Amino acid sequence: MKPAAVLLIALASAALGAALGGAYVARRDVGAGSAAPENPAAAAPRATAPAHDASASPPDYVSIGSERVSFESLRRRAASDPAFLRGLMQRYRNQTDPVARGELLALLNAVSGDEVLRLALSLTASTRAEDERDGLALLAAYPMDRAEVRETVLAKLGQGGDPQRMGELVAMLTPATMPSEDAAPVIAELAALARHSDPSLRAQAVLQLAQWDDGEQTEDLLHRAILDPSPDVRAKAIAGVQGSRIRSDRLKEALLAIAADPASSAADRGAATFALQQFRLNRAEYGIWRRAQAQADADSGEGG
């Protein structure tokens, strides 16, 4: 066993003690079809393996000292035993191995709850980039109607910075039912980012904004985005129209222009044609749509 792992067990034993003993029993009781590998140490060296992404599918097992314990048994135990959960959080704080830390992060993400939320908020306030990243990964499990979650994400966006990181923050702003007064700051931030100079961030903001708001400002930004020089922005704008209740004559006209324009990409034409199914079309517009639909079918290989 690595010296670091020995030290970690010593540090965490007081916190987990009998609780982990129960987890070991749970592991031994797992059926043969889901038992842990007989020799976990024979696996590839964990120091060279990538850390587990808490937003991805959870791992089957979690490293507890030298043991590999069933993820699901630990999740159930942590969800029903506050003391055990606190022990896992302390173990996560003390963990230095990136793979084991990632597994524990995924476990805490699956458990959720107020105690995990407090840990997430404390991590996002850290000056260490790794802590902040993990805290945001935990926050992603909570809805935006939680004021502390919403305000934390908005505060991070307000700091600006790398467009890719900001795009990840924007992606966390999934709509939730809440008072319009609480949603207003989110809508304002997304509307500002929909005009950002970076096309990838602009695209992500337009898509999210269409899910939050169906007002005149959002209709205007969607119309601008449909005409944007960036293919990604155009695609996200068309998807935003599809997924929202926003309808207007000029949105319809813009979509018809894309659908009928041979110079448009096949992807743009196909998406615009699909979105137009949700609009009322007069006879002339329907004729344009039918021709565009036939072309989209031919482009996709579905034409007769």
pLDDT in tens, 48-92: 334 445 556 778 888 887 888 899 999 999 999 999 999 999 999
Give one word for 226, left, alpha or beta, with left for phi > 0 and alpha for psi -120 to 50. Answer: alpha
Give the domain extent around 76. 1-141
- Report the Cα–Cα distance between both ends of the chain, in Å, rounded: 65
Q: Is residue 252 part of a domain?
A: no
Q: Is residue 7 part of a domain?
A: yes
For residue 54, what pLDDT is reported? 53
Q: Which residues of the chain have pLDDT under 50?
A: 1-52
R_g of the chain computed on alpha carbons: 25
Distance CA 252, CA 278 (A): 10
- Amino acid symbol at 128: R
Q: Is residue 65 part of a domain?
A: yes
For residue 56, what pLDDT is reported? 64
Do the Cβ atoms of 119 and 108 come closer than 8 Å?
yes
Give one word for 110, left, alpha or beta, with left for phi > 0 and alpha for psi -120 to 50. Answer: alpha
For residue 13, what pLDDT is reported? 36
Q: Is residue 70 part of a domain?
A: yes
For residue 134, what pLDDT is reported? 93
Q: Is residue 113 part of a domain?
A: yes
Q: Is residue 262 part of a domain?
A: no
Do the Cβ atoms of 23 and 83 come closer than 8 Å?
no
For residue 60, what pLDDT is reported? 87
The DSSP output letter for 33 is G
Q: Is residue 276 part of a domain?
A: no
Q: Is residue 279 part of a domain?
A: no
For residue 23, what pLDDT is reported? 39
Q: How many domains would you assign to the chain?
A: 1
Please give the angle made by the CA atoms of 34, 38 and 41, to the nearest 5 degrees: 120
- Amino acid symbol at 116: V
